[in-house]
Amino acid sequence: MPVPALGLLEALRRHWPEYAIEGWALGMFMISASVATVLLYDPRSPTFGLIENEFWKRALMALAMAGTAAAIIYSPWGKRSGAHMNPAFTLSFWVMGKINTVDAVYYALFQFVGGLCGSLLSYVLTGGLLADPRANWAVTVPGPQGVAAALFSELIIAFILMFVVAVMLNSKFDQLIGIVAGGLIFLYVLYESPYSGFGMNPARSFSSALPADTWTAFWVYLIAPPTGMLTAVFVHSYVLGLPADFTQPKLNPNYVTRCIHSGFEPPAAVQGHPADV
């Protein structure tokens, strides 16, 4: 069970580092996705002509995004907040009773804000090329197969990722979640992105859609990821009856950094400033 909930202002005062980390995490992911999109797909990029094969271009994009996600998960900051980077993850952990409502709301809010800031910073880093129609802010839109295919594929990839995370959190392999999650992201970008553009994250899709003013089938990217992940939680906990005994709703649970959800404080923090470190 999570620790007792705090009020909105008290939670912000005491837990703002974790909230800010969630914003930073998705912001970094957006920078990786956006810059890689420009480098690989804009003809004015110095690396545009190095690889002409579309499959291998996607492979490099997949490697960049998977590597970024894994690096964030295993970073000291990622270990502290849990590196959700995704409101659908946060919502799923909340439904499982692992996160308080106030913390879940702040996590989601900072994820949306952080992702948008990452997109805007990417615009600056790419000299405005991110806004060119060929990059179009790395928006997620359905592929040639249409909206139905995008919806189905978004549901499936979200379901698989959340189910795998839930199972691994209750196993001795919980320290490998970052590697497995990165591997799944690599496969999703390589093989699923032609169908939906690989959203799987409402905040990620919003962070591209807003500056691009491109809302094509946006409801798919808003509804499918949380629906897929919540379905995974239902199948895991109620259909299969698998345990959900983990106390830290993190993609890299640890006893090195504090956990605002379980109340864990590392010894140094307990001796110093237990509430605010």
Which residues of the chain are under the pLDDT cut of 70?
Answer: 1, 268-277
Given a contact cutoff of 8 angstroms between Cβ atoms, the answer to whether 230 and 154 are in contact is no
Domain of residue 148, residue span:
8-267
* Spatial distance between the Cα atoms of 151 and 128, rounded to a whole number of angstroms: 31
Is 2 inside a domain boundary? no
Give me the CATH number covering residue 196: 1.20.1080.10
Distance CA 195, CA 21 (A): 31
User: Which among 165, 156, 224, 219 has a CA at the least distance from the CA of 192?
Assistant: 156
Q: How many domains does the chain have?
A: 1
Residue 276 lies in a domain: no
Tell whether 277 is covered by a domain: no
Rounded Cα–Cα distance for residues 193 and 187 (Å): 9
Residue 114 inside a domain? The answer is yes
Residue 74, token pair as written in the block? 């295993």
| pLDDT recorded at residue 269 | 53
90-125: per-residue pLDDT in tens?
A: 999 999 999 999 999 999 999 999 999 999 999 999
**CA-CA distance, 34 to 150, in Å (whole number)?**
21
| Whole-number pLDDT of residue 227 | 98
- In a domain, residue 273? The reply is no
Residues in the chain: 277
- Does 29 fall in a domain? yes
Quick: pLDDT tens for 122-145.
Answer: 999 999 999 999 899 999 999 999
